[in-house]
């Protein structure tokens, strides 16, 4: 059974949070989101982590849940691949919203200051691993075909 989230405490709501996010480049269309879920359905991170949900993050911003959003590890999981933006019927630029959230999370000490560099390093290592695995796989397949022929 899915664990129920606690009710929203109105003392924790920041009514200016959404407007603040919208004041940054890329945040302009935030309020146009009508929660269709297309972003979540096509997201490669949501595919491997059912807790990662772009649509829910947008709802949390709109509800003013500043602390919850900025302290969440979820804002660092996004690949900034723009797949969700390409398919959003309302032109909500979720990856750029993520950039704003990350900027604010570091600025307001919700996240360690070197986190962006650390994630860049992780991404680079993953690219090297991907490249080497594909190369290994293709070489092994080629050698196997040559030995048959």
Token pair recorded at residue 149: 């022929």
CB-facing half-sphere around the CA of 149: CA atoms within 13 A: 6
Among 90, 106, 115, 116, binds ligand SF4 (CB under 6 A): 90
How far apart CA 45 and CA 124 sit, in angstroms, is 17
Nearest to 55 by CA among 73, 76, 74, 71: 74
Is 95 near ligand SF4 (CB under 6 A)? yes
The span of 19-27, 51-59, 60-68, 139-147 binding ligand SF4 (CB under 6 A) equals 51-59
How far apart CA 123 and CA 117 sit, in angstroms, is 10
Smallest separation (angstroms) from ligand SF4 to the CB of 54: 4
Smallest separation (angstroms) from ligand SF4 to the CB of 30: 9
99, 80 in Cβ contact below 8 A? yes
Q: Which is nearer to ligand SF4, 26 or 64 (CB)?
A: 26
Is 30 near ligand SF4 (CB under 6 A)? no
Among 18, 26, 27, 39, binds ligand SF4 (CB under 6 A): 39
Q: How many other CB atoms are found less than 10 A from the CB of residue 138? A: 10
How far apart CA 146 and CA 7 sit, in angstroms, is 63
Among 61, 75, 78, 105, binds ligand SF4 (CB under 6 A): 78
The span of 15-23, 31-39, 121-129, 141-149 binding ligand SF4 (CB under 6 A) equals 31-39
70, 20 in Cβ contact below 8 A? no
Binding site for ligand SF4 (CB under 6 A): 33-39, 43-45, 54-55, 58, 78-84, 88-90, 92, 94-95
């Amino acid at each position: 059974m899915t664990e129920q989230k606690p009710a929203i405490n109105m003392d924790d709501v920041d009514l200016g949070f959404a407007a603040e996010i919208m004041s940054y480049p890329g945040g302009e269309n935030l309020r146009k989101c009508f929660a269709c879920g297309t972003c979540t359905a096509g997201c490669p991170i949501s595919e491997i982590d059912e807790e990662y949900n772009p649509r829910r993050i947008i709802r949390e911003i709109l509800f003013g849940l500043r602390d919850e959003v900025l302290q969440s590890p979820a804002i660092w999981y996004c690949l900034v691949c723009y797949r969700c933006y390409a398919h959003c019927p309302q032109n909500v630029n979720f990856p750029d919203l993520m950039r704003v959230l990350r900027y604010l999370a570091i600025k307001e000490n919700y996240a360690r200051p070197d986190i962006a560099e650390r994630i860049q390093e992780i991404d680079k290592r993953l690219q090297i691993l991907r490249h080497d695995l594909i190369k290994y796989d293709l070489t092994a397949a080629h050698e196997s075909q040559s030995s048959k022929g």
